[in-house]
Structure 1
């Protein structure tokens, strides 16, 4: 004997499935947000490794040259080497290091094959350099002054640092790019999963309606019963005639469209959407929302009707926008992060190459930030970074890109700034603007900026070449006394200088 399942039991099961899908979507949102935040931390820290590698090379050169900057150079070598080593080993085995904001963070061991390859190669390159640096620092701890350190030890450290710099830089770049691609892939997979859950939830709502209608037809009931059932469904449901005129709708539909049932009945269902694809719902007052619509033909008491289910997916779109912002923007300053900066730089290079244009890239590093962070605390440091971001944005145009690259380092892409005097004026304006910050939380501070300027295509035609040129120019500005700007050397001059 064949037993037909009871409609009420089937309805309860389907409603349970609907709730389960909704809960799953919520958990996916939470999981994706946390994963993007973890990935963003790892990407920023990997990018900082690149900066630390270059800092060691520049500082070793400054130490060898001697003079007033040698004590500062030795301090930079000490600080950069400890942080680079700590972070590299945290990537290798998992562990604790400092984030780009100076706060402790826990890094997970990187197990992806490409990540492991970059980490292991970087460890091989780092070990001999780290040994040289340890010997240098041990000698410095004994010596009364930097000039008393064995010159041969300084020269050997500088030679090893310069010899390993390009290779270390390449491995850190590969690691950063690998982490960025992995983050993008994971985000896309999670978004695809979210979309699938939304579609399943909509399909489930239609199945519920089909079951109700089958039950109504079986018992020769009418639309009044259908209304009572659909009023308890958390989706906007419309019953239309074959020509699309609305015959009935549930309470959720009146809430979504912000009007009573009498106003909706008699309207054409197409009137409720802006476009033929029904991706944008429009209310009678003119306001709009992101929509998803499913239509199913049914037979009610021998007449052809259509059941139209409409979902407001604006919250889903807003979540996507939030997740995208997490992935591509710095949470502290809301500026583009290194991932978006790199993408914008590639786009600008492509556009400039295609149309024969030029643009300016600037690396901006704050002078005195570490002292402020140490003396006034991380909260004051965060407020300073936010204030700097706001002030620099006021000096930028809508077409320009200003982003936070890592820690207290910012990057700016200025379209149309192609002449030295234009870039010079803007760099001076930025320095003056940042130096104008006199207090944070009511406490006096002294802050400045060292800026490196590179112009496409004079100083490079690839993103890597331009970033290296601007970065080197920034360190030259610091070495020259800080709170100033330096234009990059042309590629041939840069090779000779190094």
Structure 2
């Protein structure tokens, strides 16, 4: 005996089937978007964190480079050589240190590791912010003493130079330690984000 299908029932069944397919597709896309969007955002942040880590490491080097430049100015002064070369080295190192420290504090464009401009984000954690505050307490008077040497040119007085060197000897290692702490903290921030990204990717793979 031939079976007759109610056209209305068949139409409703077809609509229900397509509705289920569309709903499944929508849920799949929503899930994928929920994984891909955080993935993209965290990956972008990790690129910025790499810049922060690199420049925090450079701050350590610059803190030592400034001390070396001060001593080079002293040697040049003692042997009565031209001071300009050593003063320019001191100027270059101190300006770069100052710009980068401001970048960590406020966020700004600074010369990157290859001297090309990069945007340095302000530090995020309370610990990093505290490190910047302590570093600035040392840096502000240090910067003033360095500028006095640079602006003096060949008329630099020995007392001004000795004052700056004495300050550097007292605070150089403190500044270096703070920049070490900053590098470590920025690395920890990046590691935490990388762990979060790995977790999201694991959940994404498990949900497929």
- Equivalent of 2:24 in 7, 14, 18: 14
Determine the structure 2 residue equivalent to 1:63.
73
Determine the structure 1 residue equivalent to 2:173.
166
Q: How far does the alpha carbon of each residue in 1:324-356 deviate from its partner, in whole angstroms, 9 at most, with x for none? A: xxxxxxxxxxxxxxxxxxxxxxxxxxxxxxxxx
- The count of aligned residue pairs is 191
Shift of residue 6, structure 1, vs aligned partner:
3.5
- Is the contact between residue 88 and residue 150 of structure 2 (CA under 8 Å) also seen in structure 1? no
In structure 1, C-alpha distance between the alignment counterparts of 2:50 and 2:165, rounded to whole Å:
33
- Is the contact between residue 92 and residue 109 of structure 1 (CA under 8 Å) also seen in structure 2? yes
CA pair 69-16 structure 1, distance change in 2 beyond 3 A: farther
- Equivalent of 1:156 in 138, 142, 163: 163
In structure 2, C-alpha distance between the alignment counterparts of 1:181 and 1:72, rounded to whole Å:
39
CA pair 197-127 structure 1, distance change in 2 beyond 3 A: same
In structure 2, C-alpha distance between the alignment counterparts of 1:182 and 1:69, rounded to whole Å:
46
- Is the contact between residue 63 and residue 175 of structure 2 (CA under 8 Å) also seen in structure 1? yes
Shift of residue 49, structure 1, vs aligned partner:
0.6
- SS of the equivalent of 1:169 reads helix
Determine the structure 1 residue equivalent to 2:62.
52
- Equivalent of 2:124 in 89, 111, 123: 111
Unaligned runs of 5+ in 1: 203-498
Determine the structure 1 residue equivalent to 2:133.
120
In structure 2, C-alpha distance between the alignment counterparts of 1:24 and 1:101, rounded to whole Å:
36
Q: How far does the alpha carbon of each residue in 1:145-192 deviate from its partner, in whole angstroms, 9 at most, with x for none? A: xxx421111111111122111010011010110000110101111110
Determine the structure 2 residue equivalent to 1:460.
none
- Equivalent of 2:202 in 176, 179, 195: 195
- Is the contact between residue 62 and residue 69 of structure 1 (CA under 8 Å) also seen in structure 2? no
Determine the structure 2 residue equivalent to 1:73.
86
Shift of residue 40, structure 1, vs aligned partner:
0.4
In structure 1, C-alpha distance between the alignment counterparts of 2:39 and 2:192, rounded to whole Å:
16
Determine the structure 1 residue equivalent to 2:143.
130
In structure 2, C-alpha distance between the alignment counterparts of 1:109 and 1:32, rounded to whole Å:
17
- Equivalent of 1:33 in 25, 43, 68: 43
Structure with the bigger percentage of helix: 2
In structure 2, C-alpha distance between the alignment counterparts of 1:112 and 1:69, rounded to whole Å:
45
Q: How far does the alpha carbon of each residue in 1:69-107 deviate from its partner, in whole angstroms, 9 at most, with x for none? A: 854322111001111111111111222211111111222
Structure with the bigger percentage of strand: 1
Determine the structure 2 residue equivalent to 1:316.
none
Shift of residue 7, structure 1, vs aligned partner:
4.3
Q: How far does the alpha carbon of each residue in 1:392-423 deviate from its partner, in whole angstroms, 9 at most, with x for none? A: xxxxxxxxxxxxxxxxxxxxxxxxxxxxxxxx
In structure 2, C-alpha distance between the alignment counterparts of 1:159 and 1:76, rounded to whole Å:
19
Shift of residue 130, structure 1, vs aligned partner:
0.6
- SS of the equivalent of 1:101 reads coil
1:483-498 mapped onto 2 (5 Å cutoff): none
- Compute the TM-score of the two structures, normalised by the length of structure 1: 0.37
Determine the structure 1 residue equivalent to 2:9.
none
Q: Which one has more relative contact order, counting CA pairs under 8 Å at least 6 apart?
A: 2
In structure 2, C-alpha distance between the alignment counterparts of 1:78 and 1:170, rounded to whole Å:
22
In structure 1, C-alpha distance between the alignment counterparts of 2:104 and 2:143, rounded to whole Å:
17
1:167-316 mapped onto 2 (5 Å cutoff): 167-200=174-207, 202=208
- Is the contact between residue 48 and residue 121 of structure 2 (CA under 8 Å) also seen in structure 1? no
Determine the structure 1 residue equivalent to 2:5.
none
Q: CA RMSD in A?
A: 1.9
In structure 1, C-alpha distance between the alignment counterparts of 2:42 and 2:75, rounded to whole Å:
50
Determine the structure 2 residue equivalent to 1:217.
none
Question: Is 1:100 equivalent to 2:110 in the alignment?
Answer: no
